[in-house]
């Protein structure tokens, strides 16, 4: 068999069996060896007993997209044997627990049986240990089969059990058992193996939720109110973990408040109360929470209260697929709440951008005095991604927006909370408690005039709505710009994508280029759309809009909000809940290019222009 | 029209408080509620209480939900920031506001629909979290603003204006409050200013969740003979558990009571709650006795008013969360943002 250095290892486990930390040890060790790793956790919405998978794509190039097809399957779950074995690429390998005899029908794969349960039963006393160390044994075997640097793996065990040193010995023992068994019984290493990596030692491996939480910390968020929901929970939890350590005053009191609310309505209500009162506040949730928060999001929009909301999207509709990824809350968030409402959305594409855009979100929310929704998803939020290190510019000044201090109020002739003094649609606000006699106003969700007074005069209300439109136009100028990549300068074919589809789209563009199809890409980073978006549309004849939902939600938004004609926008839709693969994107786009006459025409146009 | 400003006529001889302010300085816009609505009397009592407390109005934030009652913050304390939020959700707004700035005084005003129906969950959780605020329910047993539907505090024996029966038992908000962690619980009547003003003063000063259930008749929809939330019914069935004197810090105690009947509860800020009891079977510091008394009297058809329960151990959410003394909205960014050097260390932990 041909040697391969770009391969996929998949672990089939039972959830609750302790496999997660062993699988992470495997991925992290490869990462530390300087290889590209793309780990994806494919887990059930369940605590114990159901099938769960962990997939690691290993690359030399540092590609970040998931890839279909399994080269090595570590099958540890008898419930799913047949399905798992069927998934292995021809020429691939099956590693399984051979403590009990098994027959597998495939002739085109190599089967490597290791009596894992028996080995553990011989060495460990307690049932829980026997179970847990089974996972470590197969990692040990993989170190030999794939020619991994064993010292790196051992170091990983040491780091993992810092503070619980008594666990290091038995873990290393299990690793060695697996490794020795493989060395003795199999022809190690396999043709599929690791090659020394690029040694990008500055890279980090982090989940988007953790990075976003750090972004909130660096943005100076002091209030987090949240309600648990997969896949957003780890964001609030990570924030609390870091804040507990980094936000202590000299008396060890906390310069932060984290409240687990009774539901999402209360969570966003608290965030609005804090934002109104001048603290930077946020909440994190997923689709069902967005639906519950809708009324309050409208209040914050209309009363112009800054807040940051993370929507770590999962499969919908309704409870949907809580542990699978989608980008299907675009419409619900862009127009969250009844009446004429529009919300500012940000679309991070990886954990590093989760950090950067969450910090940016707080500046935007206060500058624009409106909710800013950071649209992450399960893939970015919960999977570990390899990214460049996080960075903070110490010279950066947090933009707190237009707030009138007591001195400013003393100097001012009038104060009108919703008075568009600067013509950018953004009024000035005051914080409660600022001045004994000036600047107090009544915040309300009912129609109001420039001085925050209740009005039932429809013309005044319409004027206020128009000002909000002006404010949204200002937002379009200040939100993060899209990232445009030209594959062929003159290509008339383009791709628009956003968020976690980025690695697959980047790789697909390379694959397509190899076949002679050059496409320019524009990765959206924010809504409302800036002028770059319409310009990109004008420059291209046909644009593939790649997104992970059924209804082409972003495409609709581009049509209605950027005025791009629908004929131009070809939907490329995935909604099976799995992180996107480059191969899938390539196939979809190629199929259209080869069958659709108008696309072919666009192709010819770009050829001629070349 | 709530946007109507009251004409500012200054009388030089209006009495002034310690801050040199008159009652007029604590007023709001002209009320747009029905003439005779109980809610307006409560607004007047709030104005009086704040005036007497020498409260700097800008250091108080008034918060409400939706309903006739929730409109009232427009009608008092013009110099305070106000937040008329959404139906039933004032408690979460108050919680967040309080988290952001622990130094302000928070006054929440709600209705029985706003609190006991759509907002019941948030109300319960705000008490459980012991938010430092005064929470007033202007209880008329009906949904005033949507024109007279029964609310969950409407007594089962009470009928609608058209004579329709009410099928369900009422929630007793005071019982609920005592059970769920409110440290200060009182009931009063919009028509009894003498009882109401000291209760509001004490509630504003209490450090923790102070709850006041104030019967406030809706003259338009629920003030008829068959209603237990009518002026007539409350006047004839009102049973006061005791008279409360709120003695602010440093003020001399002048009123004289027979010792045995008076309970003095010192507060953390040096002020004193003195309760002149009328029923010696019960002690407002004892939740069980307060609950039993409420139950017993309710079964007799009485409307028990006064300070019903007080937890001397004041504690609020900030104490429970161990937050810093400085208001979170005032902590400077250089303290909040750990800087790049720390971030580089954090990066290391992800390698
Ligand atoms: C989500 C929502 N549902 C319904 C309403 C309509 N609504 C307005 S006020 C009200 C009831 C208010 O009753 P209460 O709190 O007792 O106040 P009151 O008017 O009696 O003082 C209702 C149902 C609303 N504003 N919002
Ligand atoms: S309807 Fe009832 S509650 Fe509303 S203002 Fe009139 S009297 Fe008051
Ligand atoms: Mg009512």
Does the pLDDT at position A22 exceed 60? yes
User: Atom of ligand 1 at shortest distance to CA of B145?
Assistant: 19
Q: Which CATH number belongs to the domain containing residue A296 in this structure?
A: 3.40.50.970
Cβ atoms < 10 Å from Cβ of B291: 18
SS3 content of chain A, % helix, strand, coil (to 5): 40, 20, 35
Tell me if A455 and B347 make a contact (CB, 8 A cut-off).
no
Are A571 and A511 in a shared domain?
yes
Looking at the domain assignment, is residue A198 inside a domain? no
Last residue of a domain, one of A463, A478, A493: A478
Q: What is the pLDDT of residue B274?
A: 83
Kindly identify which residue of chain A lies nearest to residue B59, measuring between CA atoms.
A433
Does the pLDDT at position B254 exceed 60? no
Does the pLDDT at position B260 exceed 70? no
Identify which of A25, A20, A85 has the alpha carbon closest to the alpha carbon of residue A48.
A20
Give the model's confidence band at A600: pLDDT under 50 very low, under 70 low, under 90 confident, else very high: confident
Contact partners, residue A610, CB within 8 Å, separation at least 6? A488, A490
Q: What mean pLDDT comes out for the span B219-227? A: 95
Tell me if A223 and B339 make a contact (CB, 8 A cut-off).
no
Q: What is the pLDDT of residue B49?
A: 98
Which range, of A309-323, B190-204, B277-291, averages the lowest pLDDT?
A: B277-291
Which residues span the domain enclosing A53?
3-185
Are A97 and A73 in a shared domain?
yes
CB A76 within 8 A of CB A96: yes
Kindly identify which residue of chain B lies nearest to residue A264, measuring between CA atoms.
B92
Query: Which of B60, B90, B328 to probe by mutation at the A interface, max A CB count within 10 Å?
Result: B328
Count, in order, helices (H) and strands (E) of chain B.
12, 13
As beta bridge partners, residue A520 has A494
ipTM of the complex: 0.96
Q: What mean pLDDT comes out for the span A416-439? A: 97
As beta bridge partners, residue A384 has A207
Q: How far is B224 from chain A (nearest CA, A)?
A: 31
DSSP E strand boundaries for A323-390: 344-346, 371-377, 384-387
Longest pairwise C-alpha distance within chain B: 76
Looking at the domain assignment, is residue A511 inside a domain? yes
Does the pLDDT at position A40 exceed 70? yes
B219 lines ligand 2 (CB under 6 A): yes
In whole angstroms, give the CA distance from residue B170 to residue A330. 43
Residues in chain A within 8 Å Cβ distance of B92 = 225, 261, 265-270, 272-273
Residues in chain A within 8 Å Cβ distance of B125 = 261-262, 266
Give whole-number Cα distances, B72 to A139, A273, B41, B120, in Å. Answer: 67, 19, 10, 20
Are A449 and A510 in a shared domain?
no
Q: How close is the Cα of A347 to the center of ligand 2, in Å?
A: 47
Q: What mean pLDDT comes out for the span A198-221? A: 91
Are A118 and A254 in a shared domain?
no
Give the model's confidence band at A199: pLDDT under 50 very low, under 70 low, under 90 confident, else very high: low
Residues in chain A within 8 Å Cβ distance of B81 = 430-433, 440-443
Give the model's confidence band at B5: pLDDT under 50 very low, under 70 low, under 90 confident, else very high: low
SS3 content of chain B, % helix, strand, coil (to 5): 35, 20, 45
Whether the bond between A189 and the residue before it is cis, its omega within 30 degrees of 0, is yes
Kindly identify which residue of chain B lies nearest to residue A207, measuring between CA atoms.
B350
| B7 and chain A in contact, CB less than 8 A | no
Give whole-number Cα distances, B245 to A574, B201, B259, in Å. Answer: 69, 9, 14
B69 lines ligand 1 (CB under 6 A): yes
Q: What mean pLDDT comes out for the span A583-603? A: 88
Does the pLDDT at position A327 exceed 50? yes
Tell me if A455 and B3 make a contact (CB, 8 A cut-off).
yes
What angle, 0 to 180 degrees and rounded to 10, lies between the N-to-C axes of helices A150-160 and A168-185? 160
Query: Would you put residue B301 in left (φ > 0), alpha (ψ -120 to 50) or beta?
Result: left
Residue that is written with structure tokens 């069958």 in the block: A595
Q: How close is the Cα of B69 to the center of ligand 1, in Å?
A: 9
CB A442 within 8 A of CB B74: yes
Are A456 and A517 in a shared domain?
no
Residues in chain A within 8 Å Cβ distance of B336 = 220-222, 247, 255
Query: Which of B96, B133, B339, B346 to probe by mutation at the A interface, max A CB count within 10 Å?
Result: B96
Q: What is the DSSP letter of A391?
A: -
Identify which of B95, B86, B77 has the alpha carbon closest to the alpha carbon of residue B21.
B77
**Partner B, chain A 163-202, Cβ-Cβ below 8 Å:** 201-202
Are A9 and A135 in a shared domain?
yes
Q: How far is A310 from chain B (nearest CA, A)?
A: 17
| Strand A281-285 with A223-226, pairing | parallel
Give the residue whose CA is nearest to atom 5 of ligand 1.
B87
Per-residue pLDDT of A140-196, as tens digits, reads 999 999 999 999 999 999 999 999 999 999 999 999 999 999 999 999 999 998 887
Identify which of B213, B237, B251 has the alpha carbon closest to the alpha carbon of residue B303.
B237
Identify which of A335, B168, B49 has the alpha carbon closest to the alpha carbon of residue B41.
B49
Looking at the domain assignment, is residue A192 inside a domain? no
DSSP-derived 3-state class of residue B136 = strand
Q: What is the pLDDT of residue A4?
A: 74
Q: What is the pLDDT of residue A255?
A: 98
Q: What is the enclosing helix (H) or strand (E) of A543?
A: strand A542-547
Q: What is the pLDDT of residue B279?
A: 75
B217 lines ligand 1 (CB under 6 A): no
DSSP E strand boundaries for B169-300: 184-189, 209-215, 238-240, 242-247, 262-266, 272-277
Q: What is the enclosing helix (H) or strand (E) of B139?
A: strand B133-139
Looking at the domain assignment, is residue A371 inside a domain? yes
Q: How close is the Cα of A575 to the center of ligand 1, in Å?
A: 40
Q: What is the pLDDT of residue A609?
A: 57
Q: What mean pLDDT comes out for the span A17-39? A: 95
Average pLDDT, chain A: 95
Extract the tokens encoding B97.
């506001």
Residue that is written with structure tokens 């026997």 in the block: A130
Are A38 and A143 in a shared domain?
yes
Are A233 and A360 in a shared domain?
yes
Give the model's confidence band at B315: pLDDT under 50 very low, under 70 low, under 90 confident, else very high: confident
Are A267 and A359 in a shared domain?
yes
Q: What is the pLDDT of residue B270?
A: 84
Identify which of B84, B26, B314, B106 has the alpha carbon closest to the alpha carbon of residue A444.
B84
SS (H, E, C) A548-609: CCCCCHHHHHHHHHHCCCHHHEEEEECCCCCCCEHHHHHHHHHHHHHHCHHHHHHHHHHHHH
As beta bridge partners, residue B149 has B143
In whole angstroms, give the CA distance from residue B73 to residue B301. 32
Q: What is the enclosing helix (H) or strand (E) of A554?
A: helix A553-562
Are A132 and A247 in a shared domain?
no
Looking at the domain assignment, is residue A200 inside a domain? no
| A251 and chain B in contact, CB less than 8 A | yes
Domain count, chain A: 4
Backbone angles phi, psi at B103, to 5 degrees: -85, -15
B34 lines ligand 1 (CB under 6 A): no
CATH superfamily of the B23-328 domain:
Thiamin diphosphate (ThDP)-binding fold, Pyr/PP domains (3.40.50.970)
Instruction: Choose between A4 and B43: higher pLDDT.
Output: B43
DSSP-derived 3-state class of residue A256 = coil
Does the pLDDT at position B280 exceed 80? no
Average pLDDT, chain B: 92
Q: What is the pLDDT of residue A200?
A: 56
Q: Quick one: what percent of chain B has pLDDT higher than 90?
A: 81
Last residue of a domain, one of A478, A513, A534: A478
In whole angstroms, give the CA distance from residue B297 to residue A250. 52
Query: Would you put residue B148 in left (φ > 0), alpha (ψ -120 to 50) or beta?
Result: left
| B35 and chain A in contact, CB less than 8 A | no
Are A368 and A430 in a shared domain?
no
Q: What mean pLDDT comes out for the span B189-203? A: 95
How many angstroms from the chain centroid is the CA of residue A43?
A: 16
Q: What mean pLDDT comes out for the span A360-377? A: 98
Per-residue pLDDT of A219-273, as tens digits, reads 999 999 999 999 999 999 999 999 999 999 999 999 999 999 999 999 999 999 9
- Please report, for chain B, the start and end positions of each structural domain, with discontinuous segments joined by +: 23-328
Does the pLDDT at position B258 exceed 60? no
Q: What is the DSSP letter of A99?
A: T
Burial (0-12, 13-18, 19+ Cβ within 10 Å), A477: exposed
Residues in chain A within 8 Å Cβ distance of B84 = 442-446
Q: Which CATH number belongs to the domain containing residue A172 in this structure?
A: 3.40.920.10
Cβ atoms < 10 Å from Cβ of A196: 11
Does the pLDDT at position A594 exceed 80? yes
Looking at the domain assignment, is residue A213 inside a domain? yes
Q: How close is the Cα of B140 to the center of ligand 1, in Å?
A: 12
Are A598 and A459 in a shared domain?
no
């Amino acid at each position: 068999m041909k040697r391969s250095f770009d391969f996929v290892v998949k672990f089939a486990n039972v959830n609750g069996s302790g496999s997660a930390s062993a699988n992470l040890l495997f991925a992290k060790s490869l990462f530390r060896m300087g290889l590209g790793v793309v780990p994806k956790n494919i887990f059930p919405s369940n605590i114990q007993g159901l099938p769960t998978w962990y997939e690691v794509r290993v690359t030399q190039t540092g590609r970040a997209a998931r890839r279909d097809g399994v080269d090595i399957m570590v099958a540890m779950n008898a419930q799913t044997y047949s399905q798992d074995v069927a998934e292995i690429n021809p020429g691939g390998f099956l590693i399984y627990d051979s403590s009990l005899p098994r027959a597998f029908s495939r002739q085109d794969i190599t089967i490597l049986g290791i009596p894992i349960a028996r080995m553990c039963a011989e060495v460990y006393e307690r049932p829980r240990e026997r179970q847990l160390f089974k996972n470590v044994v197969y990692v040990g075997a993989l170190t030999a089969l794939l020619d991994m640097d064993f010292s790196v793996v051992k170091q990983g065990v040491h780091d993992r059990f810092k503070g619980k040193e008594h666990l290091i010995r038995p873990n290393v023992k299990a690793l060695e058992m697996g490794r020795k068994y493989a060395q003795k019984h199999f022809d190690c290493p396999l043709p599929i193996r690791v090659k020394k990596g690029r040694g990008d030692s500055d890279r980090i491996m982090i989940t988007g939720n953790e990075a976003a939480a750090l972004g909130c910390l660096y943005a100076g968020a002091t209030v987090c109110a949240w309600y648990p929901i997969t896949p957003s929970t780890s964001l609030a939890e990570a924030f609390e973990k870091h804040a507990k350590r980094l936000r202590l005053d000299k008396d060890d009191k906390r310069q932060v408040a984290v409240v687990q609310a009774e539901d999402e309505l209360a969570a966003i209500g608290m965030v609005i109360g804090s934002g109104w009162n001048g603290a930077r506040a946020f909440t994190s949730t997923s689709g069902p929470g967005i639906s519950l928060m809708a009324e309050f999001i409208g209040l914050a929009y209309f009363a112009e209260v800054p807040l940051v909301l993370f929507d770590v999207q999962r499969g919908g509709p309704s409870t949907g697929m809580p542990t699978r990824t989608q980008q299907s809350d675009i419409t619900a968030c862009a127009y969250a709440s009844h009446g004429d409402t529009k919300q500012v959305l940000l679309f991070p594409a990886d954990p590093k951008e989760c950090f950067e855009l969450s910090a940016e979100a707080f500046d935007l929310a206060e500058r624009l005095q409106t909710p800013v929704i950071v649209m992450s998803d399960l893939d970015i939020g919960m999977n570990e991604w390899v990214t460049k290190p996080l960075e903070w510019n110490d010279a950066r000044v947090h933009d707190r927006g237009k707030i009138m201090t007591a001195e400013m109020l003393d100097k001012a002739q009038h104060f009108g909370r919703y008075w568009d003094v600067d013509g950018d649609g953004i009024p000035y606000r005051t914080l409660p408690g600022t001045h004994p006699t000036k600047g107090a106003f009544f915040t309300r969700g009912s129609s109001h005039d420039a001085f925050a007074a209740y009005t039932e005069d429809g013309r005044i209300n319409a004027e206020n709505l128009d000002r909000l439109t002006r404010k949204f136009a200002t937002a379009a100028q200040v939100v993060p710009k899209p990232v445009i990549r030209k594959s062929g300068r003159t290509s008339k074919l383009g791709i628009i994508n956003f968020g976690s589809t980025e690695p697959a789209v980047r790789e697909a563009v390379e694959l397509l280029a190899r076949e002679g199809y050059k496409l320019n890409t524009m990765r959206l980073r924010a809504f409302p759309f800036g002028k770059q978006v319409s310009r990109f549309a004008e420059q291209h004849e046909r644009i593939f809009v790649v997104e992970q939902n059924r209804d082409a939600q972003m495409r609709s938004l581009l049509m209605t909000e950027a005025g791009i004609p629908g004929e131009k926008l070809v939907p490329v839709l995935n909604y099976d809940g799995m992180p996107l693969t480059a191969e899938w994107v390539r196939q979809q786009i190629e199929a259209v290019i080869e069958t659709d006459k108008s696309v072919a025409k666009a192709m010819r146009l770009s050829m001629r222009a070349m | 029209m709530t946007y109507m400003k009251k004409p500012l006529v200054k009388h030089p001889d209006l009495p002034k408080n310690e801050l040199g302010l008159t009652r007029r300085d604590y007023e709001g816009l002209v009320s747009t509620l029905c003439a005779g609505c109980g809610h307006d009397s409560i607004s007047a009592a709030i104005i009086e209480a704040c005036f007497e407390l020498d409260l700097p109005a800008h250091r108080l934030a008034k918060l409400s939900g939706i309903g006739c009652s929730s409109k009232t913050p427009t009608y008092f304390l013009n110099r305070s920031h106000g937040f008329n939020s959404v139906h039933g959700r004032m408690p979460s707004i108050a919680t967040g506001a309080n988290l952001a700035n622990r130094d302000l005084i928070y006054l929440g005003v709600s209705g029985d629909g706003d609190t006991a129906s759509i907002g019941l969950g948030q109300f319960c959780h705000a008490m459980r979290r012991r938010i430092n605020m005064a929470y007033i329910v202007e209880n008329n047993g009906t949904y005033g603003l949507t024109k007279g539907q029964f609310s969950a505090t409407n007594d089962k024996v009470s009928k609608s204006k058209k004579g329709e029966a009410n099928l369900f038992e009422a929630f007793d908000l005071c019982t609920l409050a005592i059970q769920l962690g409110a440290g200060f619980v009182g009931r009063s009547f919009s028509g009894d200013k003498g009882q109401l003003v000291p209760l509001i003063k004490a509630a504003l000063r209490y450090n923790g969740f102070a709850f006041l259930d104030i019967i406030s008749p809706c003259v338009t929809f629920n003030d008829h003979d068959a209603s237990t939330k009518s002026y007539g019914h409350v006047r004839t069935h009102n049973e006061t558990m005791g008279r409360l004197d709120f003695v602010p810090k440093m003020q001399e105690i002048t009123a004289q009571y027979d010792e045995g009947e008076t309970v003095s509860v010192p507060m953390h800020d040096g002020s004193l709650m003195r309760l002149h009891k009328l029923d010696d079977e019960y002690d407002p510091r004892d939740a069980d006795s307060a609950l039993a008394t409420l139950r017993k009297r309710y079964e007799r058809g009485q409307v028990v008013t006064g300070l019903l329960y007080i937890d001397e151990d004041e504690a609020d959410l900030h104490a429970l969360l161990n937050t810093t003394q400085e208001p979170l909205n005032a902590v400077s960014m250089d303290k909040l943002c750990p800087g790049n050097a720390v971030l580089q260390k954090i990066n290391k932990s992800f390698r």
